[in-house]
Amino acid sequence: MNIIEIENLSHYFADGTCGLENINLTIEEGTFVVIAGQNGSGKTTLLKHLNGLLLPTTGTVRLAGVPVSENLVKARQMVGMVFQDPDSQIVGETVCDDVAFGPENLCLDRSEVKRRVYRTLKVVGLLDFEDQKPHLLSGGEKRRLAIAGILAMEPKVLVFDEPFSSLDYPGVKQVLKQIISLHRSGHTILAAAHDLEKVIAHADRLVIMKDGKVVKDETPSQLLGELEAFGIREPCASRLGMEVQSWLN
């Protein structure tokens, strides 16, 4: 079943700049899709259409058959977005408060909010930090907290915008492990990245964007050799003619 259907999507910003041009894309439930492209290629703009943070100038985006613009709250609950800078996403004064922010916005019962907070903190391994101030967490922990804040809303689709930016090696491994475990638990994953090295070994599908258009959409193995033509670095292993390995191995 297609959980996301994008038809003839174009987006023009207020100053007339073209952000996206005639995007057609369908994403099957449970797949792991990597959207790659240079800075400014339209990756973030595309992702923001999936939960209605941006609305199309022309075209439609459907989630499980329902247009996003018909019910924005439902779309935002269904598609959880983890932003590039977790510091701008974390709103709670403590780890626990931040995770509770989403469920509280959904007007859930206090007992249900509490249940979701503890369940998601357990899932991301931050249960021992519940009373910690978010700004005192490490980069990897902050990113995991941002994921927990989204997971507490029980979305079906998880969208990651540059999930590994400014993370050290242990941080990358923590976040990658989390993403893979979420994918295994049945979530549909979309990750936007300009550096494919860390994530490509786990992706089912690779979408390449350039100047607001989708220029390639294949399995990763089919596209690895063509990446550099689109300003994306080919993973080291692939350059050396070897199979691309997971960063977790």
Partner 1 sequence: MAELSAFNFRPGSSVLHGLDVRFKLIFLVLISFTSLKAYTVALSVLTLVLVAALMHSGLSLKSILKTFRYVSVLLAFIFIARALSTPGSVVAEFKAISITREGIYYGAMICWRLVIVILTGLSFVLTTRPSEIKAAVEWTLNPFPFIPAKRIATMMSLMVRFLPVIIDQAKETADAQRARGIENRKNPVYRLGKLGIPLMRRTFERADKLAVAMEARCYSENRTDPVLSSGIMDWIALCGVVCLCLVIISA
**Residues binding partner 1 (CB under 8 A):** 48, 51, 53, 73, 76-77, 80-81, 83, 85, 87-94, 96-97, 100-110, 113, 131, 133-136, 149-150, 153
Residues 198, 222: contact at Cβ < 8 Å? no
Residues 10, 16: contact at Cβ < 8 Å? no
Q: Tell me how far apart the alpha carbons of residues 217 and 230 are, in angstroms, rounded to a whole number.
A: 13
Number of helices (H) and strands (E) in the chain: give both, helices first: 9, 10
DSSP state of 125: T
CB of 97 to partner 1, least distance (A): 5
CB of 2 to partner 1, least distance (A): 22
**Identity of the residue, 19 or 149, whose beta carbon is nearer to partner 1 in the bound complex:** 149
**Identity of the residue, 48 or 143, whose beta carbon is nearer to partner 1 in the bound complex:** 48
**Identity of the residue, 35 or 150, whose beta carbon is nearer to partner 1 in the bound complex:** 150
Residues 6+ apart with CB under 8 A from 192: 34, 35, 36, 37, 43, 44, 46, 47, 159, 160, 161, 162
Residues 241, 235: contact at Cβ < 8 Å? no
CA dihedral 78, 83, 86, 87 (to 10 degrees): -110
CB of 88 to partner 1, least distance (A): 4
**Identity of the residue, 43 or 48, whose beta carbon is nearer to partner 1 in the bound complex:** 48
**Identity of the residue, 41 or 89, whose beta carbon is nearer to partner 1 in the bound complex:** 89
CB of 105 to partner 1, least distance (A): 4
CB of 53 to partner 1, least distance (A): 6
**Identity of the residue, 73 or 229, whose beta carbon is nearer to partner 1 in the bound complex:** 73
CB of 198 to partner 1, least distance (A): 23
